[in-house]
Amino acid sequence: MLFDRPEIKKLCEQDREVLAKGKIDWISKILPIAKEIIACDDRLSDDDFIYYSRPEIKTSEGIIKTPEGENEWGAKIIEFRKARKERFIQAKRKLEDLITLISDKDRNDALEALANKIKDWEHRDLSSEEKDRELKIEEDNLLLVKAQFIDRLDISDIEKSEILEKAKGLVHRYSLPDQYPWKDVALSILSSPEDVIFDFNDCPYCGEKQIKLHFHSPKSTWARNCGVAGEMVICPKCQRQTSLTETVRN
């Protein structure tokens, strides 16, 4: 079966290990940046050797004058060097930002404590009050849509007036998104600690402060072509995922 493929099992095991440790894996975040810096530095060194080992290239404009036809080649070398240097600078900035994050022990302790707390939370059903709220949101949003396209509705003028009156003062609200496993949310916190924002906004249910994070479903879900990623907001008090703005889905 597709789900029993060895590579899928390996990805699942890797995620279980991360959750079991409950620690931010800084090494996996540093290595790609370090490799990028080394690769850019090597390529810049190669370009410098090519560029400065040929006397005919050394002009004030940096353009090859001889032999015939090498003007274009020289311009491309300069263009490549400029792009690689920009990549090198960006990679160094990323590394500096990452070092700053790693140095913030209090924040990292709070992130790891949060992830270890929520990874064992269980999904719970909506209460009757919450179900009523969700139903009211759906009704109000439908009313707003009708009011927006009132001229296209095949109804009487009296009915149109009633819809417009009821829609006054209403604003579009988002209902609860699909609730993903909390262990996947915990894994997202440990995988992308730089994207977590504490005290993001107030929970629409309890009024307590919520937390925003970048949700990224486990690697195994992407291998199965059912991955999803986006900006998620959670309420630790209600143990709810109150919103999810999807940015990628496969």
- Amino acid 66: pLDDT: 46
pLDDT-derived band at 3 (thresholds 50, 70, 90) equals low
- Edge-to-edge strand ranges of the sheet holding 240-249: 211-216, 228-235, 240-249
- Amino acid 10: pLDDT: 85
User: In the chain, what percentage of residues exceed pLDDT 70?
Assistant: 83
User: In the chain, what percentage of residues exceed pLDDT 90?
Assistant: 22
- Amino acid 68: pLDDT: 46
Quick one: CA dihedral 26, 32, 38, 41, positive or negative?
negative
Mean pLDDT (whole number) for 117-136: 82
pLDDT digits (tens, 9 = 90+) for 54-105: 545 444 555 444 444 455 656 666 777 778 888 888 888 888 888 988 999 9
- Amino acid 76: pLDDT: 67
Mean pLDDT (whole number) for 153-168: 85
Q: Where is pLDDT greater, at 2 or 131?
A: 131
- Amino acid 154: pLDDT: 81
Residue ranges of domains in the chain: 1-22+176-250, 25-103, 128-167
pLDDT digits (tens, 9 = 90+) for 207-243: 899 999 999 998 888 887 888 899 999 999 988 898 8
Q: Where is pLDDT greater, at 146 or 212?
A: 212
Name the token pair of 130: 């919450």
